[in-house]
Chain A
Amino acid sequence: AQKITQTQPGMFVQEKEAVTLDCTYDTSDQSYGLFWYKQPSSGEMIFLIYQGSYDEQNATEGRYSLNFQKARKSANLVISASQLGDSAMYFCAMREPLSGYSTLTFGKGTMLLVSP
């Protein structure tokens, strides 16, 4: 079974609008972490935001926030006030468990295009 599922292959949004990128995950661990990365066309992977399974509040980093719904096993990324530079591939990833030598497992990604 897929550990991380991103159901939206592509999303379109107009500049200055908010957009939500979906991510659902599958784990039986109680302790895990969820990460979002951005990959622009240049190829590098840029870390955006992190949410731990025990964090009670949704994570926020500037224009990025993570809508964490533990019971639904979803960790959606919300980008407020989209900018042209937000056009990129976005990956959701999970580390489970948080202890030990665990690695990040990535979803297939969502391509976001921001239009003027």
Chain B
Amino acid sequence: DSGVTQTPKHLITATGQRVTLRCSPRSGDLSVYWYQQSLDQGLQFLIHYYNGEERAKGNILERFSAQQFPDLHSELNLSSLELGDSALYFCASSYRAGGTGELFFGEGSRLTVL
């Protein structure tokens, strides 16, 4: 158990809909990262928050947004969903931003868009 909690574990929805994925980082971790894993694209970095502030953006679509709250949990909002958004979405946390420490990953939220 990495200590990172993601909900929901599975989500099935229809095209055009909006969903929110939630992440609770390990106790004390200030950094939260979101990654998308799909068969064709592999593991793609989406966005990084450190202590409530956005610090880096990767290949995140404009239809996607995220935030980190004062209690350090984070939410990833996916809107106007398309079939191609079906993927496993990971949240990962670490105490620092950058550095030599590894990222601790949650179990992921598997999104299926029908």
List residues of A whose CB falls within 8 A of some B CB: 33, 35, 37, 42-47, 50, 52, 91, 95, 97-109
Contact = CB atoms under 8 A, between A and B. Distances in A.
B98 A99 contact: yes
Given A47-B102, A98-B100, A103 B33 contact: yes
Nearest to B31: A101
Interface in B72-108: 88, 90, 92, 97-100, 102-108
Contact of A43 (B45, B55, B58, B108): B108
A76 B55 CA distance: 30
Contacts of B56: 101-103
Nearest to B1: A44
Contacts, number: 58
Mostly, the B contact residues are: strand
Nearest to A47: B102
B14 interface: no
Contacts of B106: 44
A100 B105 contact: no
Nearest to A108: B42
B42 A106 contact: yes
